[in-house]
């Protein structure tokens, strides 16, 4: 089945630094990927839709200059949290649609990245 | 995108059947109903999807009444490892759709020994 690999699985960074999270579709091409953020005991909140070869579409309230998304190829999207602050500490999850190769309409999720900003 | 309403939490015991109901009064004609499972510190995992009547796979069944305004996820004989958050999503899914998935609050299922 379709597999989405997310890296790193966890990261600790100092306040003010930037962190990059990678999301790769391993056995399929994904023109569209999605980035979510999840705080403890809360549901997934969609941050942005990443489109290959074009600018990402951000949800209302999400700062595009803080959460930089690059979707340079059909198998890789990256989320960079710039000038991270403790309030950015969260669980970040990516998702991609594998078309008929996946299940649930083809949406497959990565395993998530736990970001802790100290 | 149709809004969904689920119970916030449910408790069960090992070996019991668990039914989680989701309300989606504004479901559109082309919308499917999809359920995901999420364990702590993991991404959601697809459980089952349906459009109408009943769908069954190796892990669950999905019951959808004729008016499609609600759906029930049925987990037979749950075990401790079924303790997780279950999300009901409603939206258009298909070969040409790249629409975003919006998650509601989900139902936290706690299975007790």
Contact between A93 and B34 using a beta-carbon 8 Å cutoff: no
The answer to whether residue B42 scores a pLDDT higher than 70 is: yes
Determine how many CB atoms are found less than 10 A away from the CB of residue B44: 29
The count of residues in chain A is 118
Q: What is the mean pLDDT of residues B9-18?
A: 97
B77: left (phi over 0), alpha (psi -120 to 50) or beta: left
pLDDT of residue A13: 97
Q: List chain B residues with CB under 8 Å of A112.
A: 41-43
Q: List chain A residues with CB under 8 Å of B36.
A: 104
Q: What is the mean pLDDT of residues B56-79?
A: 96
Q: Could you tell me which of B24, B33, B73 has the C-alpha nearest to residue B52?
A: B33
More confident residue, B90 or A80: A80
The answer to whether residue A101 scores a pLDDT higher than 50 is: no
Q: List chain A residues with CB under 8 Å of B98.
A: 31-32, 97
Contact between B42 and A111 using a beta-carbon 8 Å cutoff: yes
A28–B contact, CB cutoff 8 A: no
Q: What is the mean pLDDT of residues B15-20?
A: 98
Report the gap between the CA of B1 and the closest CA in chain A (Å). 13
- B71-96 confidence digits (pLDDT tens): 999 999 999 999 999 999 988 755 44
More confident residue, B97 or A8: A8
Chain CA centroid to CA A45, Å: 11
Task: For residues B107 and B113, give the distance between their C-alpha atoms in angstroms, rounded to a whole number.
Answer: 19
Q: What is the mean pLDDT of residues A35-42?
A: 96
A58–B contact, CB cutoff 8 A: no
Contact between A6 and B87 using a beta-carbon 8 Å cutoff: no
Contact between A105 and B104 using a beta-carbon 8 Å cutoff: no
**Inter-chain contacts counted by CB atoms under 8 A, chains A and B:** 59
A95–B contact, CB cutoff 8 A: yes
Cα dihedral: A38, A44, A48, A49 (round 10): 140
pLDDT of residue A106: 65
Looking at the partner chain, which of A43, A103, A110 has a beta carbon nearest the beta carbon of B103? A43
The answer to whether residue A80 scores a pLDDT higher than 50 is: yes
Q: Are A1 and A102 in contact (CB under 8 A)?
A: yes
Contact between B106 and A6 using a beta-carbon 8 Å cutoff: no
pLDDT of residue B3: 86
Contact between B43 and A111 using a beta-carbon 8 Å cutoff: yes
Determine how many CB atoms are found less than 10 A away from the CB of residue A70: 15
Q: List chain A residues with CB under 8 Å of B42.
A: 111-112
Residue A53 binned pLDDT confidence (cut-offs 50, 70, 90): confident
- Residues 6 or more apart in contact with residue A41 via CB below 8 angstroms: none
Q: Which two tokens stand for residue A25?
A: 């579709």
pLDDT of residue B102: 84
């Amino acid at each position: 089945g379709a597999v989405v690999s997310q890296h790193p699985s966890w990261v600790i960074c100092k306040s003010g630094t930037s962190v990059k999270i990678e999301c790769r579709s391993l056995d399929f091409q994904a023109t569209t990927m999605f980035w979510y953020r999840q705080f403890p005991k809360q549901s997934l909140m969609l941050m942005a839709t990443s489109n290959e070869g074009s600018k990402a579409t951000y949800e209302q309230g999400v700062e595009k200059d803080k959460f930089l998304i690059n979707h340079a190829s059909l198998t890789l999207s990256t989320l960079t949290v710039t000038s991270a602050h403790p309030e950015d500490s969260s669980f970040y999850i990516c998702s991609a649609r594998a078309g008929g190769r996946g299940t649930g309409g083809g949406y497959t999720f990565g395993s998530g990245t736990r970001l802790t900003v100290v | 995108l149709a809004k969904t309403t689920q119970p916030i939490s449910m408790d069960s015991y090992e070996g019991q059947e668990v039914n989680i109901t989701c309300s989606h009064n504004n479901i559109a004609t082309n919308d499917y109903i999809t359920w995901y499972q999420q364990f702590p510190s993991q991404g959601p995992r697809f459980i089952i999807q349906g459009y109408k009547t009943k769908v069954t796979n190796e892990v669950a069944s999905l019951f959808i009444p004729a008016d499609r305004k609600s759906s029930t996820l049925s987990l037979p004989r749950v075990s401790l490892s079924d303790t997780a958050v279950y999300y009901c999503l409603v939206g258009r899914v298909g070969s040409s759709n790249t629409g975003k998935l919006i998650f509601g609050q989900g139902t936290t299922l706690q299975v007790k020994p």
